[in-house]
Amino acid sequence: MSMDLRDVAAGERRFDEKEGGRRVAELDRKMSRIMVTCQSVEIRETLVGSEMKGKRLGKL
């Protein structure tokens, strides 16, 4: 009986590791998507900011 319980526990642990790995990968993908979005927003803000400065200085 104790062997069966140990096997079940090992099986559950393996399943958890697999599921955990999948969840971590999913979170990584979501995080990188969020970071890319943030970067493009920052770039856009920088471009708009420099355009505004240029207009204020009468360069554009």
Alpha-helix runs per DSSP H in the chain: 2-57
pTM of the model: 0.36
Nearest-CA neighbor of 27 among 15, 39, 35?
35
Q: What is the pLDDT of residues 4-43, one digit of tens each?
A: 777 766 666 676 677 777 777 788 888 888 777 877 778 7
Which CA distances in Å does 50 have to 9, 30, 36, 47, 58?
60, 30, 21, 5, 12
Give dist(CA 9, CA 54) in Å, integer: 66
Q: Which residue has the higher pLDDT, 16 or 1?
A: 16
State yes or no: pLDDT of 60 exceeds 70: no
